Amino acid sequence: MTLYRHFGSKDELIIACLRDFASDIEGLWQSLEMSHPGDPMAQIYAWIRMAAECTIGDLRGCDMANVAVELAEDDHPARHVIEEFKTAQRNRLADLCRSAGIEKADQLADTLCLLIEGARVSIQSVGPEGPGGRYVSIANAVVAAFAHEARSHRDQRETVAANQAHESARSAQRVREPEDAPA
CA torsion through residues 116, 64, 53, 41, sign: positive
- Residues 106-142 have pLDDT tens digits of 999 999 999 999 998 898 889 889 999 999 999 999 9
What pLDDT, on the 0 to 100 scale, is given for residue 144? 96
Mean pLDDT to the nearest integer, 30-42: 95
What pLDDT, on the 0 to 100 scale, is given for residue 54? 83
Q: Domains of the chain (ranges plus CATH)? A: 2-180 (1.10.357.10)
The conformation of residue 132, written as its DSSP 8-state character, comes to G
What pLDDT, on the 0 to 100 scale, is given for residue 75? 85
Is 62 in a helix, a strand, or coil? coil
- Residues 65-110 have pLDDT tens digits of 778 888 878 888 889 899 999 999 999 999 999 999 999 999 999 9
Report the C-alpha dihedral over residues 48, 56, 81, 6, rounded to 10 degrees: -140
What pLDDT, on the 0 to 100 scale, is given for residue 165? 61
Q: Report the alpha-carbon distance of residue 80 to residue 140 in Å, rounded.
A: 31
Mean pLDDT to the nearest integer, 139-166: 72
Contact between 11 and 77 (Cβ < 8 Å): yes
pTM value > 0.85: no
Q: Give residues with Cβ within 8 angstroms of 150, minimum separation 6.
A: 101, 102, 103, 104
